[in-house]
């Protein structure tokens, strides 16, 4: 469920139990799925981060603006810092060298070209890829991570991204180019600490 009627938004803000229950039920599955792959397929961690996201969202509920995007997108944005915190502190994270060793040369080649072209869907669906992408995104500066998420995760048009950031589509294209280049360098640095550009 995407948009939330103004009346229900107010009921959620007022702490109405039924409105809160419906809000949670409408969004928990999608949010959990978003988080699950970003915390290394750890069910307990995904549950914990999902719960923490709803708690954080309630604390910051007045910041939600339906004109700027759907409730689902806002919850994903809210979860990102919590996911990043988990990845930084998790003792269960797969060692990067071990993860890199599981990648074949074809996958490595795709990542080496990420600043020039998008990753094909079959690559993005691989478990090893998801883990490395999650770690790489968590390490990027916020403005790069946000524009990559908006374009490739939320599938927003360049025009929508530009409007939301009060800038031009040309500026967003340039930002995306820099963000993809930063992703490539960060990915290679994380995967191979000996790497230097």
pLDDT tens figures, 28-41: 988 888 788 778 77
Q: What is the pTM assigned to this prediction?
A: 0.49
- pLDDT value for 195: 43
Among the ranges given (74-78, 153-157, 175-179, 183-187), the one the predictor scored with the smallest mean pLDDT: 183-187
CA distance 45 to 39: 7
Instruction: Say if residue 147's pLDDT is above 70.
Output: yes
**What's the CA gap between 98 and 192, in Å, rounded?**
10
């Amino acid at each position: 469920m995407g948009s939330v009627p103004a009346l229900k938004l107010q009921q959620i803000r007022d702490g109405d139990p039924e409105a809160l229950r419906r809000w949670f039920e409408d969004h928990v599955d999608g949010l959990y799925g978003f988080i699950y792959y970003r915390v290394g397929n750890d069910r307990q961690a995904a549950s914990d981060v999902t719960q923490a996201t709803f708690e954080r969202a309630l604390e910051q509920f007045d910041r939600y603006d339906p004109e700027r995007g759907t409730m689902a997108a806002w919850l994903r944005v809210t979860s990102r810092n919590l996911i990043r915190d988990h990845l930084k502190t998790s003792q269960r994270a797969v060692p990067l060298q071990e993860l890199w060793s599981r990648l074949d040369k074809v996958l490595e080649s795709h990542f080496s070209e990420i600043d020039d072209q998008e990753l094909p869907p079959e690559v993005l669906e691989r478990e090893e890829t998801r883990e490395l992408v999650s770690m790489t995104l968590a390490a990027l500066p916020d403005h790069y991570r946000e524009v990559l998420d908006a374009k490739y995760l939320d599938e927003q048009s360049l025009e929508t991204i530009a409007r939301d950031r009060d800038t031009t589509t040309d500026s967003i294209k340039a930002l995306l180019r820099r963000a993809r280049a930063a992703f490539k360098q960060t990915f290679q640095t994380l995967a191979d600490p000996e790497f230097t550009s």
